[in-house]
């Protein structure tokens, strides 16, 4: 496992799912992690508190709000003097046929998944100039292989991938040592599924979330991973083992996009 001792990391969407699993792995490898999520009760960009259990500090951050990014990263830099790693895991899903998707829902998904990714990369690159660092954004296999009934989500993740790759090229072309990559999971067993009506129906029909995931797998949805499976790929990409990798999209989907 890579040694991240002395590295300072910021993770969005860190209260659950892939973000929480990534937080655990980075702390285990010695990083000081600022764990950012809207679920943190402190005022946006105001209070960072060290939590029990080692190098984890909490920060409330709405990824759609540029002032939150400015304030949050300013706090990290004031306290640590640097930012070495940014993992942008925050995102939302949506499931409805395109003709039934409202403009408000379209904008809600794009604001979180794409605008949030833009602000993450923009302010991450600024914070890492000129010393360098590694940024990983969490995309989706649905941004590579379209998902029927999820036009807003698939579009937001496809655009996020191009955004990250473009930013990686900009950094490389000007000699800025900031690596930017995308990890795009297939199905992952995260709390996000609980928000979707069809998944709630499956849970009621089959008796448990595990049974609902098994039904989705059987219906051709591909294998569902645990969050830590995705976090391991993120850990690799932010480590020195990936020093020559930038502008890449890594599907972690057991071949779903083939």
- Scan for tokens 């300072």, then name that residue: 8
Nearby residues of 66 by Cβ (< 8 Å), 6 or more positions away: 119, 123
- Same structural domain for residues 58 and 141? yes
Structure tokens at 257: 């996009």
- Same structural domain for residues 47 and 151? yes
Residue 3 lies in a domain: no
In this prediction, residues 12-41 reach a mean pLDDT of 90
- Same structural domain for residues 145 and 94? yes
In this prediction, residues 83-87 reach a mean pLDDT of 98
Residues 188 and 151: their CA atoms lie apart, in Å, by: 19
Residue 257 lies in a domain: no
In this prediction, residues 13-36 reach a mean pLDDT of 93
CA triplet 187, 190, 192: central angle to 5 degrees?
95
Q: What is the pLDDT of residue 40?
A: 64
In this prediction, residues 9-27 reach a mean pLDDT of 94
- Comparing CA positions, the residue from 70, 74, 72, 78 lying closest to residue 60 is 72
- Same structural domain for residues 23 and 149? yes
Decide if pLDDT at 197 tops 90.
Answer: no
In this prediction, residues 72-98 reach a mean pLDDT of 94
- Same structural domain for residues 129 and 217? no
- Same structural domain for residues 153 and 216? no
Tell me which residue range forms the domain holding 83. 8-188+226-252
What are the catalytic residues? Answer: 153
Confidence label for 214 from pLDDT (cuts 50, 70 and 90): confident
pTM for the full predicted model: 0.89
Decide if pLDDT at 47 tops 50.
Answer: no
b/e per residue 97-118 (b: at least 16 CB within 10 A): eeeebeeeebeebbebbbbbbb
Q: What is the pLDDT of residue 38?
A: 85
- Same structural domain for residues 127 and 195? no
- Same structural domain for residues 175 and 52? yes
Residues 37 and 35: their CA atoms lie apart, in Å, by: 7
- Same structural domain for residues 45 and 167? yes
Confidence label for 49 from pLDDT (cuts 50, 70 and 90): very low
Q: Is 92 exposed, middle or buried (0-12, 13-18, 19+ CB in 10 A)?
A: middle
Residue 2 lies in a domain: no
Q: What is the CATH number of the domain that holds 147?
A: 3.40.50.720
- Same structural domain for residues 219 and 107? no
- Same structural domain for residues 207 and 230? no
Residue 91 lies in a domain: yes
Residue 1 lies in a domain: no
Q: What is the pLDDT of residue 83?
A: 98
Residues 24 and 131: their CA atoms lie apart, in Å, by: 25
Domain count across the chain: 2
- Scan for tokens 């995705």, then name that residue: 230
- Segment among 93-107, 126-140, 165-179, 209-223 with least mean pLDDT: 209-223
In this prediction, residues 202-222 reach a mean pLDDT of 77
In this prediction, residues 228-240 reach a mean pLDDT of 97
- Please state whether 9 falls in left (phi above 0), alpha (psi between -120 and 50) or beta: beta
First to last CA, the chain: 28
Residue 72 lies in a domain: yes
Nearby residues of 109 by Cβ (< 8 Å), 6 or more positions away: 92, 93, 94, 152, 153, 156
User: How many Cα atoms are found within 13 Å in the side-chain-facing hemisphere of 78?
Assistant: 10
Cβ atoms of 141 and 184 within 8 Å: the answer is yes
Cβ atoms of 231 and 18 within 8 Å: the answer is yes
- Same structural domain for residues 123 and 142? yes
Q: What is the pLDDT of residue 162?
A: 98
């Amino acid at each position: 496992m890579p040694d991240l001792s002395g590295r300072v990391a910021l993770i969005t969407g860190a209260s659950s799912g892939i973000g929480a699993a990534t937080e655990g792995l980075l702390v285990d490898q010695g990083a000081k992690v600022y764990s950012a999520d809207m679920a943190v009760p402190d005022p946006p960009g105001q209070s960072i508190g060290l939590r029990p259990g080692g190098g984890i500090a909490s920060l409330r951050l709405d990824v759609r709000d540029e002032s939150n990014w400015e304030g949050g990263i300013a706090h990290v830099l004031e306290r640590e003097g640097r930012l070495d790693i940014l993992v942008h895991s925050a995102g939302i899903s949506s499931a409805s046929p395109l003709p039934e998707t409202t403009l408000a829902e379209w904008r809600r998904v794009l604001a979180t998944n794409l605008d949030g990714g833009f602000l993450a990369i923009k302010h991450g690159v600024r914070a890492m100039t000129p010393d360098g660092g590694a940024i990983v954004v969490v995309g989706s296999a649905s941004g590579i292989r379209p998902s029927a009934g999820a036009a807003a989500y698939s579009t937001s993740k496809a655009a996020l991938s191009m955004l990250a790759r473009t930013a990686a090229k900009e950094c490389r072309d000007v000699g800025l040592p900031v690596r930017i990559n995308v990890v795009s999971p297939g199905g992952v067993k995260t709390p996000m599924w609980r928000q979707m009506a069809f998944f709630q129906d499956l849970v009621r029909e089959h008796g448990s979330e595990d049974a609902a995931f098994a039904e989705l797998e059987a219906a051709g949805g591909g294998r569902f991973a645990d969050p830590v499976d995705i976090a391991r790929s993120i850990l690799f990409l932010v480590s020195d083992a990936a020093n020559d990798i930038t502008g890449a999209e890594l599907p972690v989907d057991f071949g779903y996009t083939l």
